[in-house]
């Protein structure tokens, strides 16, 4: 009897450690993506934070850095999605699927890179592109679907947390989901609004939400 209990405790500790490791991936994914992206933004000639999204950094000499950034971050998000499933089981199956879809979108964005635009890389004509390549179109579509999946993940997390002791974080998750959607898609409806600014807001808020929730769930496992 004692051996069985001890075995169950040991197995629980092992599962909790694995879950914390996976949630740790969610904690660092956003800061890593932004740190690598911003470092390139300040180091690469022609890039302007007010005019260019980070995805265009995949073009030109050194573009492999941003491609790798997409790949590594996407894998970290996939790991975090499994951590969410473990930490919130059985209430987080759909959440894990949508968050995993966001991570898969990051991997697809690495394969189908955005087109050069508005002076970046150096030598690209200024202004919006006059045409879009097949890869660029796929990248844009994947990005839109990815942000939708991220916003849905926020809403599903809110539903799961509302039945536990995380109601304040549930309300924050709803707010973050709305901001992500409005940031990525809302600027289209605002005359003279910069779409890049909206994308920046969606990216920063989305990553901040993922880090905050990963930290909350990891602490709960302790």
> What confidence tens digit (pLDDT) does each residue in 58-78 have?
999 999 999 999 999 999 999
| Number of CB atoms found within 10 A of residue 145's CB | 15
Mean pLDDT of 201-222: 90
In this prediction, residue 179 has a pLDDT band, given cuts at 50, 70 and 90, of very high
DSSP 92: -
Hunting for tokens 């809110």 — which residue is that? 158
pLDDT of residue 8: 47
The residues, ordered by sequence, that sit 6+ positions from 176 with a Cβ below 8 Å of its Cβ are 154, 205, 206, 208, 209
Half-sphere exposure of 137 (CA within 13 A, CB side): 5
Report DSSP state, residue 118: T
Tokens of 128: 């919006």
Question: What tens digit of pLDDT does each residue of 157-173 get?
Answer: 999 888 766 788 899 99
Contact between residue 201 and residue 179 where contact means Cβ atoms under 8 Å apart: yes
């Amino acid at each position: 009897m004692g051996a069985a209990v001890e075995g169950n405790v040991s197995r629980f500790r092992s599962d909790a450690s694995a879950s914390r490791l996976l949630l740790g991936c969610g904690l660092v994914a956003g800061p890593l993506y932004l740190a690598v992206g911003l470092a390139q933004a300040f180091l690469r000639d022609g890039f302007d934070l007010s005019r260019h999204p980070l995805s265009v950094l995949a073009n030109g000499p050194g573009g492999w850095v941003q491609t790798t950034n997409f790949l590594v971050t996407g894998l970290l998000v996939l790991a975090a999605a499994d951590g969410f499933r473990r930490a919130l089981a059985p209430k987080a199956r759909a959440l894990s699927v949508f968050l995993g879809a966001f991570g898969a979108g990051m991997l697809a964005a690495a394969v189908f890179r955005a087109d050069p635009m508005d002076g970046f890389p150096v030598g690209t004509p200024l202004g919006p592109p006059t045409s879009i390549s097949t890869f660029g179109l796929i990248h844009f579509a994947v990005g839109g679907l990815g942000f939708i999946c991220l916003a849905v993940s926020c809403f599903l997390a809110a539903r799961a947390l509302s039945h536990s002791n995380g109601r304040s974080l549930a309300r924050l998750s709803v707010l973050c989901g709305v901001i992500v959607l409005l940031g990525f898609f809302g600027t289209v409806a605002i005359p003279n609004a910069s779409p890049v600014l909206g994308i920046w807001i969606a990216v920063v808020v989305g990553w901040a939400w993922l880090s905050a929730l990963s930290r909350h769930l990891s602490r709960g496992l302790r």
